[in-house]
Amino acid sequence: MISVVIIASNSERTIHECLDAIKNFEVILYLNNSTDRTKEIAQNFSNVKIIDGYFDGYGTTKNRAVSFATNDWILVLDSDEIMTKELEEELSNCNFDYQAYYVSRLNNYFGTWVKHGGLYPDYTVRLYNRNVAQFKERQVHESIDYNGKKGYLKNHFLHYCCDTIDFFIEKQNKYSTMNGKRNILKAFVSPYWTFLRMYFLRFGFLDGWTGFILAKLYSQYTFWKYIKGK
């Protein structure tokens, strides 16, 4: 059996669709400083265990949320990520030959499903056995700490990343502050390389105007990340 673990705050925009797609799983919804209707919406789902907690970095908070699950196998989702029926079927037939699995996601930016620029298949380890793996306790861009061999699931989930450019900029500004590592040389060079890699080398131009915007915004994020901090 698999427990799905989600940490969320003010996620009323996507939480219903997210939870509706995982009604066949035990779900741990860990709320932190949420002031909108997220909790009210989640209370309509009988399979969801709601935990009111606090946030002290993504890695640490996700490990704490996982501690409330009853199953050893954990699938971690964000509140703006939707499980597809194909992925649900694959999970139900999984033989668990590995102790951790990469899962891909298809990202939606500004109403467009993006398949280039290095943003798809966007594999990350999301399914794992908590007896042998856990999240690294990082503030942002957290990842699973497991050194063994990992498997790959075939199907992806959907990620409604950003509705608007303003929301994307706000999000990336927050992440760059949390993950800031001041390096003047990289602040000067890395944004150009980020744009070149995303837009040309990874064919971001095939996503049209959205691909260009994303390459520009991610290069700006790279600048912020290296100009902030001490």
196 pLDDT higher than 80: yes
DSSP 103: E
Q: Are 27 and 49 in contact (CB under 8 A)?
A: yes
The span from the CA of 6 to the CA of 203, in Å, is 32
Among 76, 59, 19, smallest CA distance to 42 is for 19
Encode pLDDT of 41-76 as tens digits.
999 999 999 999 999 999 999 999 999 999 999 999
DSSP 204: G
Domain-by-domain residue ranges, the chain?
2-162, 165-227
The span from the CA of 221 to the CA of 228, in Å, is 11
Percent of the chain with pLDDT over 70: 98
Describe the crossing of helices 208-227 and 184-195 by its angle, rounded to 10 degrees.
170
The pLDDT of residue 102 = 98
The span from the CA of 128 to the CA of 115, in Å, is 26
Chain-centroid distance of CA 58 in Å reads: 10
Among 114, 108, 74, 107, smallest CA distance to 91 is for 74
Mean pLDDT, range 130-144, rounded to an integer: 87
Q: How far apart are the first and last CA of the chain?
A: 45
Tell me which H or E stretch contains 40: helix 38-42
Q: Are 151 and 186 in contact (CB under 8 A)?
A: no
DSSP 95: -
Residue-averaged pLDDT of the chain = 96
Q: Are 61 and 7 in contact (CB under 8 A)?
A: yes
Q: Which CATH number fits domain 2-162: 3.10.450.50, 3.90.700.10, 3.90.550.10, 3.40.50.720?
A: 3.90.550.10
Q: Are 57 and 138 in contact (CB under 8 A)?
A: yes
Of residues 218 and 137, more confidence is placed in 218
The pLDDT of residue 157 = 98
Band the pLDDT of 192: cuts 50, 70, 90: very high
Percent of the chain with pLDDT over 90: 91
Q: Whole-prediction pTM value?
A: 0.92
List all residues 6 or more positions away from 201 whose beta carbon is below 8 Å from its beta carbon. Answer: none
The pLDDT of residue 230 = 67
The span from the CA of 27 to the CA of 121, in Å, is 25
Mean pLDDT, range 88-108, rounded to an integer: 97
Encode pLDDT of 148-174 as tens digits.
999 999 999 999 999 999 999 999 998
Mean pLDDT, range 125-142, rounded to an integer: 89
DSSP 198: I
The span from the CA of 83 to the CA of 106, in Å, is 11
The span from the CA of 47 to the CA of 157, in Å, is 20
The pLDDT of residue 62 = 97
